[in-house]
Structure 1
């Protein structure tokens, strides 16, 4: 997920100049080793330039000749619009749609002023995958609702103000449930990845693999920005059904792309229609209530 500004118009102006809107191909590097294709329209670029938020999603099943497709959605008026389709000629960095430091670094180089945010779904999935390394914990999580509730308190850290996450985490880890040996083993690696660990003297913390501000959703909820990729996921499931089989031919892929662009064009023409009024002032109250109910009473009382 990327928050950005009209800098995108300057960054991609050279891409659209050569096409003059006559084709869906905005950019193409033909060198076989570094082949890159970007599909879209000039109108898509202009719309993307006025979107304060970008949603970046990828899939591995619909691209001929390429191993993956990145789709960049512009987010405006509480709606996401698929605008650019980026096909890199590189091996997939990983076959799970979760946090990737390599991708984040590359985006930071191109858009240094962007504020990067990960998806809550991917954060939750990354924690859940740790269960598979401990079958007994996974079994108990699947069959014991109280046990599952306690485990989900870890995920609730994503809704704590970023500056308070480490403090609340320390309090949480002192709870009897998390002191148990099996749970400590489960969370040891996650601690290094997401929160950071105290040194032996408890005088300073290590630097986590992923910064807290990257996976924390507290400001997103307050600003009414998507904390999950549900909109992108729904689009991708629909897009998967357009070209036909997994890894379709080039003609099938382009046919599906043209159909999707036609839908996007229609949606963009309607994007300036005022949406129904929403009670956004309830967001902070909802966030506070959800956070308090996700954490144990003993923590909330401290």
Structure 2
């Protein structure tokens, strides 16, 4: 119902939570969903840990390089991602195959049966996690700043606020934001709030 009164967003920046991504895409059909590069990197590292490959990462230079290349793949133009992934695959040690299989399944799309070029839809489309265009447009590639704001806002709001208190907190936040924007527009430098 609220959607009817709002202008639809051009894009959403979020973590790689499939339920959230599906909801955004169903609610705002034309909205571009942007995954956070930091969280993608964290997901990759968690899989290194879950596959028991931390020692290999620390001691094997080729494994380390393969991991770094995979982490850098979001910086390649979307149209070149699959070819770049193939290059990474060809230049990675055998011990890195679990990571490549995971990434291909969830982020690239596995090759369809009896095909050498047609791929299945991955869980997360390349356009969702690729940051090349964002860098070209000087847009953020991560949403850590939003998470930091949310943490501060949550601390200011306390747990389980009433609707009235929550609305007042949003009003206060809006007023603070407008003051900061006025200061920036008048040439002042913005000082971050100290949470301590």
State TM-score, norm by structure 2: 0.76
Match of 1:188 among 101, 110, 116: 101
Shift of 1:149: 3.6
Within 5 A, what are the aligned runs for 1:172-183?
A: 172-175=88-91, 178-180=92-94, 182-183=95-96
- Runs of 4+ residues over 6 Å off in structure 1: none
Match of 2:179 among 257, 266, 270: 266
Aligned to 2:5: 12
Tell me how far apart the structure 2 counterparts of residues 223 and 258 of structure 1 sit (CA, whole Å).
Answer: 31
Q: Higher strand share goes to which structure? A: 1
Match of 2:147 among 233, 236, 258: 233
Query: Is 1:217 paired with 2:131?
Result: yes
- The SS at the match of 1:250 is coil
Tell me how far apart the structure 2 counterparts of residues 201 and 125 of structure 1 sit (CA, whole Å).
Answer: 32
Tell me how far apart the structure 1 counterparts of residues 119 and 161 of structure 2 sit (CA, whole Å).
Answer: 50
Shift of 1:259: 4.2
The C-alpha deviation readout for 1:135-181, integer Å capped at 9, x for no partner, is: 2x12332x348343431110111000100000111111011xx241x
The answer to whether the Cα contact below 8 Å between 2:13 and 2:36 also exists between their aligned partners in 1 is no
Aligned to 1:82: none
Q: Higher helix share goes to which structure? A: 2
The C-alpha deviation readout for 1:40-76, integer Å capped at 9, x for no partner, is: xxxxxxxxx6x9865556xxxxxxxxxxxxxxxxxxx
- Specify every segment of 5 or more residues in structure 2 that has no aligned partner in the other structure, as ranges: 190-196
The answer to whether the Cα contact below 8 Å between 2:37 and 2:142 also exists between their aligned partners in 1 is yes
Change (3 A) 1:228 1:234: same
Tell me how far apart the structure 1 counterparts of residues 131 and 161 of structure 2 sit (CA, whole Å).
Answer: 38
Equivalenced residues, count: 184
- Specify every segment of 5 or more residues in structure 1 that has no aligned partner in the other structure, as ranges: 1-8, 14-48, 58-97, 277-302
Tell me how far apart the structure 1 counterparts of residues 12 and 117 of structure 2 sit (CA, whole Å).
Answer: 38
The answer to whether the Cα contact below 8 Å between 1:124 and 1:155 also exists between their aligned partners in 2 is yes
Query: Is 1:138 paired with 2:49?
Result: no
Aligned to 1:167: 83
State TM-score, norm by structure 1: 0.52
- The SS at the match of 1:117 is strand
Aligned to 1:128: 45
